[in-house]
């Protein structure tokens, strides 16, 4: 699944791709891989750089959680036959 930023704001660019593959022999297990590229709309001054980094890491953690839930639904609750 590929994604890209719909509307620039604090980020000038945010593109990426999720890859989910089933782990053979392990019921309900999957390998999730995220590749992404993010570019802020501006370079923040030094006191705010840490805040921006934490915000971007937090957003990545949210996306990983959403992917984990989605993959569980598709791989465990609705497996392909």
Domain residue ranges of the chain, discontinuous segments joined by +: 2-77
How far from each other are the two terminal CA atoms of the chain, in whole angstroms? 21
pLDDT at 28: 67
Distant-in-sequence, close-in-space partners of 62: CB < 8 Å, separation ≥ 6: none
Sign of CA dihedral 49, 61, 9, 36: positive
Q: Which of 77, 73, 60 is nearest to 20 (CA)?
A: 73
- Whole-prediction pTM value? 0.52
Which phi-psi region, left, alpha or beta, contains residue 25 (left: φ > 0; alpha: ψ -120 to 50)?
left
Average pLDDT of the residues of the chain: 82
pLDDT band per the 50, 70, 90 thresholds, residue 17? very high
How far apart, in whole angstroms, are the C-alpha atoms of residue 65 and residue 78?
19
């Amino acid at each position: 699944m590929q994604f890209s930023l719909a509307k620039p704001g604090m980020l000038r660019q945010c593109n990426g791709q999720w890859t989910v593959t089933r782990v053979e022999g392990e019921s309900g297990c999957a390998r999730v891989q995220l590749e992404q590229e993010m570019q802020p709309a501006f370079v923040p001054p030094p006191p705010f750089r840490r805040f921006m980094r934490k915000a971007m890491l937090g957003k990545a953690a949210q996306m990983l959680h959403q992917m984990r839930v989605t993959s569980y639904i598709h791989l465990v609750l609705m497996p392909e036959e």
